[in-house]
Structure 1
Amino acid sequence: MSGALSGLLVADFSRVLAGPYCTMLLADLGAEVVKVERPGTGDDTRAWGPPYAAGEATYFLGVNRNKRSITLDLRADVEVARALAARADVLVENFRPGTMDRLGLGYEALRELNPGLVYCSITGFGSGAGAGLPGYDLIAQAVGGLMSVTGEPDGPGTKAGVALVDVITGLHAALGIMAALRHRDHTGQGGRVGDAARSSGAGQRVEVSLLSSLLSALTNHASAYAAAGVVPQAMGNRHPSIVPYEVFRAADRPIVIAAGNDRQFQALCAALDRPDLAQDPRHATNAERVAARDTLVADLNAALAGRTADEWFDRLTAAGVPCGPINDLAAAFALAQDLGLEPAVELDGVGQVANPIRLSATPPSYHRPPPALGQDDTWLREILDR
């Protein structure tokens, strides 16, 4: 079955996480992705272990399936890189701003070779005054405000448990690329994969940054500041605008309850055999529950102490109350499997996290395991010689 992006050639000059995550999503959907790596060492994440599987760092394995790998010294082999870019529909890079220009591989130079090229640059802090700042996820989490709203009140600030800003930026990059390709399709000259589309002159540059992506992803917190000048603070597992919407204590372990409206709150109180809490005028609306947060949470914890988290999960779910125990990843994968979500696949005997996108006619496919360094060098030369 052909993927939705079959026939598109992606020249992937990115490394580590944001760029490779973006290009893996494109590859899962059918694009031919050629990963360009440094000779000898390759992508930094090849060395980011333990843990390892099949001799490779699982960090690398997690974002590089369905790709080919070629090795190029971008100084000595720049003409090969330019020849690849001339044939590509999409180019993705996340070098420090200015690097690709100095190598003769910047957007302005390559659009002369390939007017239909969609050229995506991923930076930490843009290509202007922030061009010299290092584009690391942890730095972005710190200076971009995420750590200020994560963790306990009065704490030092806590990072998310995964490089979340890189992932969000990779998603934005993929969306920007698809929008640019859609625009190329609508020129009347593009719309066909191959030489006609690339010669259409309707390519463009796509730019995304870690900082801008994070500010967008901070949603309600960022809106509180932009619209009302409110600077949010860390609240642990509590929500600034909804109660009850946090972690509670069951008899054996924590459970999350997210009663986001009055109906759900009333159902919660009934399931806890505490209808009086719903009838209390201090809890009549969400705004009043936010004001009475401390006493209400104490009452809810007292009621929850009588049953285990799993018992409450069954009971509250049946009552229509959103809730769930705090799972580790093993339990999370097991839950997804039980729900029929098929969260993992195998490629050459190595587990991979499945692409979360479901398409009825052109679903993601898993046809090529993460590549060995430079395994497609010969293939590239053959392609360029045609």
Structure 2
Amino acid sequence: MPHVPASTALQRFRVIDLTQVRAGPTACRQLADWGADVIQVQMPEHMRGDDTLGGQDGSDYQYTHRNKRSITLNLKEAEGIRVLKRLIATADVVVENFRPDVKYRLGIDYDSLAKDNPGLVYASISGFGQTGPYAARPGFDQIAQGMGGLMSVTGMPGDGPMRVGIPIADLCAGIFAAQGILVALLEREQSGKGQWLHTSLLEAMVYMMDFQTSRWLIDGEIPQQAGNFHPTSIPTGVYKARDGYMNIAVFGSKIWERFCHILGAPEWIEDPRYHDKAARSVNRDSLNAEINRRLAEQDCSHWIERLNEGGVACGLINDMRDVFKEPQVQHLDMVKTVVSNRLGEQRLVGQPVQLARTPSDIVRAAPRRGEHTEEVLGELGITSAQVADMKSAGVF
């Protein structure tokens, strides 16, 4: 079937997805979920490398590639490149995450394509950037987590570096690339011109270090691991009640006073060890021990109710099963249902931003490799006979 937009917001845009693995596909998923016609271009089945997320029937692949169409093209053949360029001539956006030199060798770099499509927005995602001493290095999420500083502040003090439990460098690079694409499309409305934009896993990771970067760049302080406790706001972290663990975040003097009263320890307010932020920082270990001792008298549910009534932020620490039992998660309607012709009904998490007039949805399950090749080629005016000849010649 032709393009079925998941939203009316971006339905006028066509995006050519030349990416593999996660960062690039994430960028394209963001656009597809808001209605763009994302056409995923993959190598033919017999030529493919390990470019899928757990196999095409796996949950990871299904989540990442929903709302897209898929074609196959052999980009090692001149005819495959010619068909790709013909497709790109109809597009608004190209997203690629080849090694920086590959696009030039194939003749599908921005400057080459913009000659025929001056309004083209061309997005490149790499491990370390398009130029510089590390540009040719292979990039991988955990490498960026380490080099960007995240692993140095994650984990328990003294236990050595710790990775985050999601591919955060990949995901952030993809989301930042999608944001950059939208900015370029908005600018194009004024100038009429496209442009090349690029980001990398390393840039995304350094940017996501946020206040930790300013602690070094402005204050000259090298952030250290703080485990489950906030490095500068005390008390904020993981605490143990009678039946399990919970998060508590106490920000500001007024909230601190309320917290002390709720825990039945008003004396902490005037205690010189705890009476201000600086003192609580110095004496964080003794304060945390005192808090845990008080919390151990009741279950998490008791404290969560009392603390929320008092305006003190807190919450359970859920596994994935419990996340989707949360009444608020259910109320937010984050889980969408889509039917795959091959795999049946699927439940997937939708976009975390709600637009009242042009909402996002999941209307198409992840495609099989090349599922829409003949359909898309037909949209380019290529006849059935020509398609048959191309297939025989190994073009797709």
TM-score computed with the length of structure 2 as normaliser: 0.90
Rounded to whole Å, the distance in 1 between the matches of 2:327 and 2:17 is 31
Question: SS state of the match for residue 336, structure 2?
Answer: strand
Query: Is the CA contact (8 Å cut-off) linking 1:16 and 1:43 kept in structure 2?
Result: no
Seen in structure 2, the aligned counterparts of structure 1 residues 259 and 47 have a Cα distance that, compared at 3 Å, is: closer
Query: Is the CA contact (8 Å cut-off) linking 2:246 and 2:316 kept in structure 1?
Result: yes
Counterpart selection for 1:366 from 362, 369, 372: 362
**What letter corresponds to residue 13 of structure 1 in structure 2?**
L
Rounded to whole Å, the distance in 1 between the matches of 2:7 and 2:230 is 44
Query: What is the percent sequence identity of the aligned residues?
Result: 38
What's the CA shift for 1:307? 0.7
Rounded to whole Å, the distance in 2 between the matches of 1:287 and 1:336 is 37
Seen in structure 2, the aligned counterparts of structure 1 residues 359 and 163 have a Cα distance that, compared at 3 Å, is: same
**1:384 and 2:384 matched:** no
**1:109 and 2:108 matched:** no
Counterpart selection for 1:220 from 188, 211, 214: 211
Question: SS state of the match for residue 30, structure 2?
Answer: helix
Could you tell me which residue of structure 2 aligns to residue 256 of structure 1?
247
**What letter corresponds to residue 148 of structure 1 in structure 2?**
S
Could you tell me which residue of structure 2 aligns to residue 69 of structure 1?
70
**What letter corresponds to residue 52 of structure 2 in structure 1?**
R
Unaligned runs of 5+ in 1: 50-54, 191-201
Seen in structure 2, the aligned counterparts of structure 1 residues 27 and 237 have a Cα distance that, compared at 3 Å, is: same
Query: Is the CA contact (8 Å cut-off) linking 2:323 and 2:329 kept in structure 1?
Result: no
Counterpart selection for 1:79 from 77, 82, 85: 82
What's the CA shift for 1:156? 2.4
Counterpart selection for 1:296 from 287, 291, 298: 287
Counterpart selection for 1:143 from 121, 143, 147: 147
Counterpart selection for 1:344 from 308, 313, 335: 335
Could you tell me which residue of structure 2 aligns to residue 174 of structure 1?
178
Could you tell me which residue of structure 1 aligns to residue 25 of structure 2?
20
What's the CA shift for 1:281? 3.0
What's the CA shift for 1:234? 1.1
Task: Summarize deviations over 1:49-80 as a string: whole Å, max 9, x none.
Answer: 6xxxxx71111111111000011111211111
What's the CA shift for 1:289? 1.2
Task: Summarize deviations over 1:185-234 as a string: whole Å, max 9, x none.
Answer: 112xx4xxxxxxxxxxx100011111111111100111111112211111
TM-score computed with the length of structure 1 as normaliser: 0.92
Seen in structure 2, the aligned counterparts of structure 1 residues 43 and 264 have a Cα distance that, compared at 3 Å, is: farther
Could you tell me which residue of structure 1 aligns to residue 36 of structure 2?
31
Seen in structure 2, the aligned counterparts of structure 1 residues 317 and 367 have a Cα distance that, compared at 3 Å, is: same
Superposition CA RMSD, Å:
1.6
**1:328 and 2:319 matched:** yes
Could you tell me which residue of structure 2 aligns to residue 130 of structure 1?
134
Counterpart selection for 1:162 from 157, 162, 166: 166
**What letter corresponds to residue 54 of structure 2 in structure 1?**
W
What's the CA shift for 1:283? 2.0
Question: SS state of the match for residue 92, structure 1?
Answer: strand
Could you tell me which residue of structure 2 aligns to residue 196 of structure 1?
none
Between the two proteins, the alignment pairs up a number of residues equal to: 368
What's the CA shift for 1:336? 5.6
Query: Is the CA contact (8 Å cut-off) linking 2:94 and 2:120 kept in structure 1?
Result: yes
Question: SS state of the match for residue 256, structure 1?
Answer: strand
Could you tell me which residue of structure 2 aligns to residue 210 of structure 1?
201
Rounded to whole Å, the distance in 1 between the matches of 2:329 and 2:353 is 18
Could you tell me which residue of structure 1 aligns to residue 99 of structure 2?
96
Seen in structure 2, the aligned counterparts of structure 1 residues 332 and 297 have a Cα distance that, compared at 3 Å, is: same
Query: Is the CA contact (8 Å cut-off) linking 1:124 and 1:134 kept in structure 2?
Result: yes
Rounded to whole Å, the distance in 1 between the matches of 2:181 and 2:82 is 25
Query: Is the CA contact (8 Å cut-off) linking 1:268 and 1:316 kept in structure 2?
Result: yes
Rounded to whole Å, the distance in 2 between the matches of 1:38 and 1:84 is 15
Seen in structure 2, the aligned counterparts of structure 1 residues 338 and 365 have a Cα distance that, compared at 3 Å, is: closer
Query: Is the CA contact (8 Å cut-off) linking 2:324 and 2:330 kept in structure 1?
Result: no
**What letter corresponds to residue 88 of structure 1 in structure 2?**
A
Query: Is the CA contact (8 Å cut-off) linking 2:21 and 2:53 kept in structure 1?
Result: no
Question: SS state of the match for residue 228, structure 1?
Answer: coil
Unaligned runs of 5+ in 2: 1-5, 340-344, 383-396
**What letter corresponds to residue 347 of structure 1 in structure 2?**
V
